Structure 1
Amino acid sequence: MKNYSREDIIRIVEEEDVEFIRLQFTDMFGMLKNVALTASQLERALDNQCIFDGSAIDGFVRIEESDMYLYPDYNTFEIFPWRPQQGKVARLICDVYRPNGEPFEGDPRYVLKKVLKEAERMGYTFHVGPECEFFLFDTDESGRPSTDTREMAGYFDVGPVDMAENVRRDIVLNLEEMGFAVEASHHELAPAQHEIDLEYMDGLTAADNIMTFKMAVKTIAKRHGLHATFMPKPKAGINGSGMHINMSLADQSGHNVFIDETDGLGLSRIAYQFMAGILAHMKEITMLTNPLVNSYKRLVPGYDAPVYVTWSAAANRSALIRIPCTRGSNTRIELRCPDSAVNPYLALASCLAAGLDGIKQEMEPPKSVDVNLFAMTEEQMDALGIEQLPETLGEALEAFEHSSFVRKVLGDHVYTKYLAAKSAEWKKFRAEVTDWEVEEYLYKF
């Protein structure tokens, strides 16, 4: 992790001929925002003197209290390698503050930092390794996004069948130039679908890096004449894009506390409790891990996405949580339901809070399910007490709305604003008439 001082940043900007600095922050829905300054205004920005109109951001503040301040996190300073080498562009990720100097409770980064501090008080550091999936589609003659693709590659295919191999290479090289540790990249199962896995890092860095990753992927794809989308299910009949989250906790000495070599699975009691907490709260937090109407088109049987609230000791990929076969310092759990449209700050905050609650309440997970869940009958499911994830945003809304746990994690401001926004989204969707309905019913009735 970088440890920049104010003087370091001023020196680098001068030495590297940086002309523009973007002060970035994230809104409630996971959309990256920024205010761009010239290098002449850098010291003002580093002194937390940059003001923006918070009332212009969905879910932030009212127009009569609109002034908000951006406080840069010095350690997030990066120069964009894809921008011009003369008059370079750099960025700083910022926390949002009120004029009175208090952190803004509606800032998603603040929500995550609160839960990370709770983990720290309990003696833990949260470690995360995200697996990021996305599609690279063609653009039309006007340069607008489409869902068309000329390639028909599948899982782990290589060029020339994988026609975007060089695009993925370009993305990885740019990320590495920015200090990212990329574990692997490959073509995914569906045509035009790709995955890039980032190495383990602390929770806050992981959320920051996911936001930067999305920006980099979209920017570099556009340079290749393609449109990158993190929409969970852009086309029917193919797999959707997930963002599996690998998680573990470390103690103050950096030791992975999920390890217990005396256990049959190599898992500690803390690991079981953490997993039990996520399973217990999963339906309440699904709207944060799967935030769109479209997210639930991915969570259906037959498309390599989990549907049931279960875990597997046998690395069973039909389970919601699986235990990857690696052990020792790499011991971890993998949550498979989150999709690529998440706000990473809110998703990671809710997962960590659920896991910590499992530790505090000394929860026990249900029995491991090590068979293909999609091959089980409803009667078999009922006999094992297996619950299903919400099937629609409407069902996820209902669980979210009645959750005092989620309200505590997010705080009243984010909870109420997010609930209102997602309720409006669901209401709007319910009023729409889809192409499928017209094709299915117009001539029959």
Structure 2
Amino acid sequence: MDRQQEFVLRTLEEREIRFVRLWFTDVLGYLKSVAVAPAELENAFSEGIGFDGSAIEGFARVHESDMLVQPDPATFQVLPWRNEPHGTARMYCDVLLPDGSPSYADPRHVLKRQLSRASDAGFTFYTHPEIEFYVLKRKPDPGELPEPNDEGGYFDHTPHSSAYNFRRNAIMMLEDMSISVEFSHHEGGPGQQEIDLRYADALTTADNIMTFRHVMKEVALEQGVYATFMPKPFGQFPGSGMHTHLSLFEGDRNAFHEPGATFQLSTIGRGFIAGLLTHAAEITAVCNQWVNSYKRLWANAAASAGAGGEAPAYVCWGHNNRSALVRVPMYKPGKPNSARIEYRALDSACNPYLAYAVILAAGLKGIEEGYTLPPEAEDDVWGLTPAERRALGIKPLPQSLDEAIRTMEESELVAETLGEHVFDYFLRNKRAEWEEYRSQVTPFELQRNLPTL
């Protein structure tokens, strides 16, 4: 037994914790959980806990359903929202096959595999997400429209407001779980919040995002409201994105930083951006996996940035240009670690393990293949005409889930990154979602057509 496992077992005893929740995710990013007693944990560390993989979406077929979850002691945390006399803790798990090998269906393993590839090239991949979401007065009943919990706008601060109290309680809970928060504020839509997590390696970040979403819903329940990460719950208000800052490090050195280079951005950084741009359309279905995701990207693409919520719809990059898909933020003089790039297409309802895996794969491909970085977009890309964008070589992202999955299914890069099993299941699931969506008759159609046709 290693030191981390010993620390977990000792902490359970010292703090009289009676239940340990073992967490993992399915292919779509839904959090799964199984509770074990502390007495069973030593065996879970060494042999895993068995479960029926065929009962989890995308994991296994009935005739190969036996699977194991093995807790990762490095992810151990006590859950701070349980008020029982004896607490509850949680750990993330790796999903294994009966022979102890990693499961091809485990999204966490998909990311680990890509991080190992980066490590073989000498890189550590760091990420810093800015997570947006809405707080509603209550969970809407079927057919009921959502109602924001407040009427605030961007950076609004009203003392003792419900939004302020929500963020304060949520951040305290995150900090109790050693998840560091860098910034928080009210976003542009009524009831919309943003909380930015501090930089961490991509696997830790993905684990933290899954915890974050669960914590936000727990805090909302405690306060009698409802938190949603739906990409665009309101047609008239901005959608919820998860702009993520990215960097590669070689040991302690920021590989994206080159003193004296344009924007202080190294050749490695420029290659990473070129890879993201080249493969942006292919990875969009993973970064924006829901029918509703494309309402965020495209519903207001022709409108101003304020109406569109700064969602990127076109494949380009720019220095401090928030209309670009990839933004190179302002460099802080004397701080080489501040050199980074920001990928702005992600929404906060994606599976972070798969999303970060394909983003990293695209960036590494650009570095390895020596992709050429096109000229930066200096203008407001939303404000350009279609002809002007074509003249500049700026192509659009997929405009629907259907277009995104058609592009993804032709991608060797995404297939290799996700692995055959996850790739095939993801596409089958998304095709089914699109077909179900296409069969719906919407209130818009009834209101517009029923009285006149």
On the 8 A contact 1:221/1:227 being kept in 2, the answer is yes
1:60 maps to: 59
Alignment counterpart, residue 413 of structure 2, candidates 371, 391, 405: 405
1:286 maps to: 284
What pairs with 1:257-406 in structure 2 (closer than 5 Å)?
A: 257-300=255-298, 301=301, 302=303, 303=308, 304-313=310-319, 315-327=320-332, 328-406=336-414
Q: Given the alignment of the two structures, is residue 27 of structure 1 paired with residue 26 of structure 2, yes or no?
A: yes
Report the Cα distance in structure 1 between the residues aligned to 2:74 and 2:141, rounded to whole angstroms.
39
- In the TM superposition, residue 330 of structure 1 has moved relative to its aligned partner by 1.2
- In the TM superposition, residue 161 of structure 1 has moved relative to its aligned partner by 8.5
- Structure-2 change in CA distance of 1:144 and 1:169 (3 Å): farther
Q: Deviation per CA, 1:165-192: give whole Å up to 9, x if none.
A: 1011000001001111100100000000
- In the TM superposition, residue 37 of structure 1 has moved relative to its aligned partner by 1.2
* Letter of the structure 1 residue corresponding to residue 312 of structure 2: P
1:11 maps to: 10
Report the Cα distance in structure 1 between the residues aligned to 2:372 and 2:22, rounded to whole angstroms.
44
Report the Cα distance in structure 2 between the residues aligned to 1:336 and 1:21, rounded to whole angstroms.
36
What pairs with 1:32-181 in structure 2 (closer than 5 Å)?
A: 32-84=31-83, 86-139=85-138, 147-160=146-159, 162-181=161-180
1:238 maps to: 237
- In the TM superposition, residue 92 of structure 1 has moved relative to its aligned partner by 0.8
On the 8 A contact 1:128/1:202 being kept in 2, the answer is yes
- In the TM superposition, residue 46 of structure 1 has moved relative to its aligned partner by 2.1
On the 8 A contact 1:155/1:190 being kept in 2, the answer is yes
* Letter of the structure 1 residue corresponding to residue 282 of structure 2: E
- In the TM superposition, residue 144 of structure 1 has moved relative to its aligned partner by 12
- Structure-2 change in CA distance of 1:17 and 1:259 (3 Å): same
Say which SS state the counterpart of residue 151 (structure 1) adopts: coil
Report the Cα distance in structure 2 between the residues aligned to 1:18 and 1:154, rounded to whole angstroms.
42
Report the Cα distance in structure 1 between the residues aligned to 2:289 and 2:81, rounded to whole angstroms.
30
Report the Cα distance in structure 1 between the residues aligned to 2:161 and 2:326, rounded to whole angstroms.
30
1:202 maps to: 201
Report the Cα distance in structure 1 between the residues aligned to 2:382 and 2:312, rounded to whole angstroms.
9
* Letter of the structure 2 residue corresponding to residue 354 of structure 1: A
- In the TM superposition, residue 108 of structure 1 has moved relative to its aligned partner by 0.3
Q: Deviation per CA, 1:418-438: give whole Å up to 9, x if none.
A: 010001111111111111111
Greater shift in the superposed pair: 153-162 or 379-388? 153-162
On the 8 A contact 1:292/1:393 being kept in 2, the answer is yes
On the 8 A contact 1:153/1:162 being kept in 2, the answer is no
On the 8 A contact 1:248/1:332 being kept in 2, the answer is yes
Q: Deviation per CA, 1:349-386: give whole Å up to 9, x if none.
A: 00000000000001112110011111111111111111
Q: How high is the sequence identity, in percent, across the aligned residues?
A: 44
On the 8 A contact 1:25/1:94 being kept in 2, the answer is yes
* Letter of the structure 2 residue corresponding to residue 335 of structure 1: Y
- In the TM superposition, residue 324 of structure 1 has moved relative to its aligned partner by 1.0
Q: Deviation per CA, 1:130-153: give whole Å up to 9, x if none.
A: 111110001169999961125210
On the 8 A contact 2:54/2:62 being kept in 1, the answer is yes
On the 8 A contact 1:72/1:94 being kept in 2, the answer is yes
Unaligned runs of 5+ in 1: none
On the 8 A contact 1:128/1:246 being kept in 2, the answer is yes
Report the Cα distance in structure 2 between the residues aligned to 1:420 and 1:367, rounded to whole angstroms.
37
- CA RMSD, 1 decimal: 1.7
Please report the TM-score for the alignment, with normalisation by the length of structure 1. Answer: 0.96
Report the Cα distance in structure 1 between the residues aligned to 2:82 and 2:447, rounded to whole angstroms.
46
- Structure-2 change in CA distance of 1:434 and 1:196 (3 Å): same
On the 8 A contact 1:311/1:319 being kept in 2, the answer is yes
Say which SS state the counterpart of residue 248 (structure 2) adopts: strand
- In the TM superposition, residue 444 of structure 1 has moved relative to its aligned partner by 1.6
* Letter of the structure 1 residue corresponding to residue 405 of structure 2: L
Aligned length: 441
On the 8 A contact 2:283/2:358 being kept in 1, the answer is yes
- Structure-2 change in CA distance of 1:267 and 1:140 (3 Å): closer
Alignment counterpart, residue 426 of structure 1, candidates 431, 434, 439: 434
Please report the TM-score for the alignment, with normalisation by the length of structure 2. Answer: 0.95
- Structure-2 change in CA distance of 1:316 and 1:142 (3 Å): closer
On the 8 A contact 1:132/1:244 being kept in 2, the answer is yes
Say which SS state the counterpart of residue 263 (structure 2) adopts: coil
1:226 maps to: 225
Report the Cα distance in structure 2 between the residues aligned to 1:30 and 1:176, rounded to whole angstroms.
23
On the 8 A contact 2:52/2:67 being kept in 1, the answer is yes
On the 8 A contact 1:288/1:347 being kept in 2, the answer is yes
Unaligned runs of 5+ in 2: none
Report the Cα distance in structure 1 between the residues aligned to 2:400 and 2:141, rounded to whole angstroms.
34
